[in-house]
Amino acid sequence: MSKLTNGLLALSLLAAGFISAQEVEPTTPEETEFYEPKPPKVTPGTNGSAPSDAIVLFDGSSLDNWISAADSTAAKWILNKDGSMTVNNRTGDIQTKQNFGSIQLHIEWKSPAEVQLEGQHRANSGIFLNGLYEVQVLDNNDNPTYVNGQVGSIYKQHVPLAMASVPTGEWNTYDIIYHAPIFEKGQKVKSGSLTVIHNGVLVQDHVEIKGTTPYIGWPKNPVHGKGPLKLQDHGDNSRVSYRNIWVREL
């Protein structure tokens, strides 16, 4: 059958109600091209700086967007002159004032050049999506630990696909896509997911979030809505620094 006969036959079947519009094979390129709705224009950032539609959470100028996670007082971490901030040991985790659901997150972090301690005690920090789900930050260079708790892991849930850290003392980037879990009537009906790109290397490929990421015990699934982005003070003089933190809400 020729293309034309085929097309005419399909049109007759469509008109007679035997098939729907979706079942008619398009015969021209234009039928599968559309122009609306137009994606918004976004001006990308350079060298980790925020794109035009991002919410900047830390650009080195102040800790004003952050509070102490324990008591909501002003964040007590150290603001450095080079546009970064550093964990102030044992002052506690900090979190954003603003709450987020699903986000794209860009964050840069650095372990101190002078190494101290071993395993999980060496420059341990972490990035908690929704305040609950930890992407591990750790100085893993020549410093083995359990692989589901190593750098780039979803802590105690997902081993990273690769170990992609730069040398200790240099800046790492994490680009993270977080989709929040969905709850209905007090139950989780869809798990959240995480994708993590570490220094341009995919280390978590849309993995399922099984629940919270505790040190001891199984993941838990408390019902929640939007939550803060939280950064960990692990309490063993980690001296981990962060800079260029921005999110785009999804």
- Residue number of the CB atom closest to Mg ion: 126
CA nearest to 227, candidates 133, 161, 154: 133
How is residue 83 written in tokens?
């546009």
Phi, psi of 22 (to 5 degrees): -65, -25
Q: Which is nearer to Mg ion, 84 or 150 (CB)?
A: 150
Strand-strand pairing, 241-249 and 55-58: antiparallel
Q: Which is nearer to Mg ion, 55 or 117 (CB)?
A: 117
Q: Which is nearer to Mg ion, 124 or 244 (CB)?
A: 124
Residue length of the chain: 250
Residues 231, 235, 240: CA angle, nearest 5 degrees: 55
Nearest distance in Å: CB 125, Mg ion: 6
189/152 Cα distance (integer angstroms): 27
Nearest distance in Å: CB 128, Mg ion: 9
Nearest distance in Å: CB 180, Mg ion: 21
125/59 Cα distance (integer angstroms): 19
Q: Which is nearer to Mg ion, 193 or 233 (CB)?
A: 233
- Helix H segments across 82-156? none
Q: Please report, as a single letter, which amino acid is at residue 224.
A: H
Q: Which is nearer to Mg ion, 124 or 168 (CB)?
A: 124
Nearest distance in Å: CB 59, Mg ion: 24
Nearest distance in Å: CB 72, Mg ion: 22
Cα torsion at 234, 238, 239, 241 (round to 10°)?
-60
* Neighbour tally for 221: CB within 10 Å: 17
Binding positions for Mg ion, rule: CB under 5 A: 124, 126, 232
Give the DSSP letter of residue 158: B
Nearest distance in Å: CB 232, Mg ion: 5
Q: Which is nearer to Mg ion, 13 or 68 (CB)?
A: 68
